Structure 1
Amino acid sequence: MMEIVLDKSYLDGAPTASVRSLCQHFHVLMSDELFFELLTTDVPSQKRCFAKLPERENPLALIPNVGFLLRFEREHQCGCAPLTQHQVPDRYVFHKKLREGTFVCEGEVLENLTAWRAHVEGDTRDFVERSKVVHQFFPELNGIEWKDFPAAVAVARRKISDDHDFVRQIYESFLDEDAPPDAPSPGALTPEWSWFRWVQCQIIAGLRLFQRYQGRFPEDPGPEFWRRAEHSMLDVYYVILGSLAGAIATRDNEIREDFLALRPDAVLLSPDVLGAAGANRPLNTDARQAGSARPPRAG
């Protein structure tokens, strides 16, 4: 059964029948990132999301976060795919209070959630800092008129998507004297490595953020800036995981755009696809049916 990454936009916005059909036809992966979002979202959304999941043991395969996958590759010096090899082996059921909207985090769960929230805030700030200087990897973005900037960014996005040697060069530039001794060699990285996808996704999302603010980020950003930046950073996690799995279920337009740029050969599902297929009918899982995918690249 094909593995597929689930994101919050799909779980929250798709009909219950589509979510359960997804769980029937695919090996659905719920990452730490999604679980974090579900525990920190508003109560109506949390209740709505958990109520859509099949009421059985192990309704989804739980997988660790992107940080775990990056550490795995450093420790083992090999790509982390397939993601199913990292799924939690334990039998579990979600607490019924999550479906009822009455769950309260306490004890170890609260401690873990607090630590994860701090981790996300740190990753968000790092993502913004990288976005401020992302243009340095693309000299063609410097010194041009603003009217030419969107087209130049589009070319830059295609380069980070298609030029694998360029991805390795950027990764190598991140390896300074403080890099851990077990950091994977740039020459070893392939699209099956989370480090490879991490570089691609950080750059492609950073280009969007750089363009959004026209390269002029606010000096004293307020809560709305950080809320949107965190959302963009969490999207990066899902695109990394989806690119590694080769399949994603999402309703988010930016995730869709980045995923198809990086994996035009892969599977992208939206609720209407599953709705049309029905709960007991086979699905057409060719992402090229989505209409906006480019032809698969060679190699």
Structure 2
Amino acid sequence: MAQRKTPFLTIDKSYLRACRADDLIQYSTDYRFVLPEALVYEVVKDSATSRASLFRKFPRSPDPYTVAVSIPLALAREMEQHKPYCHEGARPRDLSIHDSLANPEYELTESQRSATENVLREVESDMNTVLWLAKDWQVNHADSFSGSDEERSKGRQMLDQEICSEDFVLPKYAHAVSQPWSVHRKPVPVDLLTREWANFRWFQVNALFALDIAVRYPDLEILKKSPNALKKLNHDILDARGLLTALFVDGGFATQEEKLQRFWTLLNPDGLLVSKPNTTPGDS
């Protein structure tokens, strides 16, 4: 009889901060933890003490967690190979590296610092996509942003549901990746895309975050000129990467962010959501 595969549980920073080591020990019997590359970036750039306290929460086992492949790499592989990215390519974390990150006296290597800087550059690229999509929502779906509070709320809910539809997503994806600023130099042909593809999920997640921004900032120029607003947008992009990782990793998602919980439920209504520490997955 084939051995049953242990399902993945993708953990974001908000959950990792809130949970206890005992929570992760409990969940580790039934789940393999996956860390989005964005989470590793966020934690590594924290103070050494903060970084160490978070990594110490993981069980000290030969394979305490896996780190998901970077989002741009997954997207690029699909564009090159014309087949959905295999999420089981998540790579085991070398225990010696884990021990180093859990040590408050450990200093990052030059290559580790370079890797964090590369993530920052990638985030800036995704920011272009989100801002363009936010403007597209406001211009081409203006009716959903006008009227009474109730009417705008209904318009938002309608667009949320549209983003879950392949018929709606595919032409929008094709238009977005054809823009001059797009890093998708050879995008996946639209007739191949389904929700099993990382590129499809990438667009859905960015579209949801862009819609949220379009609602919060009726004048996007104000956002672009505000350092604080841009900083929040940067955090949104990192959150988006965590959600995206959870979507193309076959398993559940652990987050305390209400917005991410809502987006996860929209895009994966049957997916496992762990929203509170000290609860059994599936009951939170």
TM-score by length of structure 2 reads: 0.86
Contact preservation (8 Å) 1:5, 1:29: yes
Q: 2:173 is matched with which residue?
A: 171
TM-score by length of structure 1 reads: 0.82
Contact preservation (8 Å) 2:36, 2:68: yes
Q: 2:188 is matched with which residue?
A: 184
Q: 2:52 is matched with which residue?
A: 47
Distance 1:34 1:216 in 2: 27
Distance 2:80 2:130 in 1: 24
Contact preservation (8 Å) 1:56, 1:93: no
Aligned residue pair count:
275
Contact preservation (8 Å) 2:65, 2:93: no
Residue 131 (structure 2) pairs with residue 131 (structure 1): no
Residue 91 (structure 2) pairs with residue 88 (structure 1): yes
**Secondary structure at the residue paired with 1:266?**
coil
Within a 5 Å distance, the mapping from 1:70-219 to structure 2 comes to 70-81=75-86, 83-84=87-88, 86-88=89-91, 91-141=94-144, 144-145=146-147, 147=149, 148-161=151-164, 163-176=165-178, 182-218=186-222
Q: 2:13 is matched with which residue?
A: 8
Structure 1 residues 20 and 94, CA gap change in structure 2 (3 angstroms): farther
Distance 1:45 1:256 in 2: 25
Structure 1 residues 64 and 182, CA gap change in structure 2 (3 angstroms): same
Contact preservation (8 Å) 1:10, 1:251: yes
Q: 1:293 is matched with which residue?
A: none
Residue 266 (structure 2) pairs with residue 250 (structure 1): no
Contact preservation (8 Å) 1:36, 1:113: yes
Cα RMSD of the aligned pairs, angstroms, is: 2.4
Distance apart, 1:97 and its partner CA: 4.7
Distance apart, 1:43 and its partner CA: 4.1
Code of the residue aligned with 2:171 in structure 1: it is Q
CA-to-aligned-CA distance 1:51-86 (integer Å, 9 cap, x gap): 1011232210122111111011111111114x12x1
Contact preservation (8 Å) 2:67, 2:91: yes
Distance apart, 1:30 and its partner CA: 1.4
Distance apart, 1:125 and its partner CA: 4.5
Code of the residue aligned with 2:216 in structure 1: it is R
Distance apart, 1:156 and its partner CA: 0.7
Structure 1 residues 93 and 58, CA gap change in structure 2 (3 angstroms): farther
Structure 1 residues 15 and 91, CA gap change in structure 2 (3 angstroms): closer
Residue 244 (structure 2) pairs with residue 231 (structure 1): no
**Secondary structure at the residue paired with 2:28?**
helix
Distance apart, 1:93 and its partner CA: 2.9
Distance 2:98 2:274 in 1: 28
Distance 1:219 1:207 in 2: 14
Distance 2:105 2:229 in 1: 30
Contact preservation (8 Å) 1:32, 1:63: yes
**Secondary structure at the residue paired with 1:25?**
coil
Code of the residue aligned with 2:22 in structure 1: it is A
Structure 1 residues 126 and 160, CA gap change in structure 2 (3 angstroms): closer
Distance apart, 1:211 and its partner CA: 0.8
Distance apart, 1:271 and its partner CA: 3.4
Q: 1:30 is matched with which residue?
A: 35
Distance apart, 1:258 and its partner CA: 0.4
Identical pairs, percent: 18
Distance 2:106 2:123 in 1: 22
CA-to-aligned-CA distance 1:27-56 (integer Å, 9 cap, x gap): 211121111111112444323211101123
Structure 1 residues 203 and 271, CA gap change in structure 2 (3 angstroms): same
**Secondary structure at the residue paired with 1:54?**
coil
Within a 5 Å distance, the mapping from 1:253-264 to structure 2 comes to 253-264=258-269
Contact preservation (8 Å) 1:251, 1:270: yes
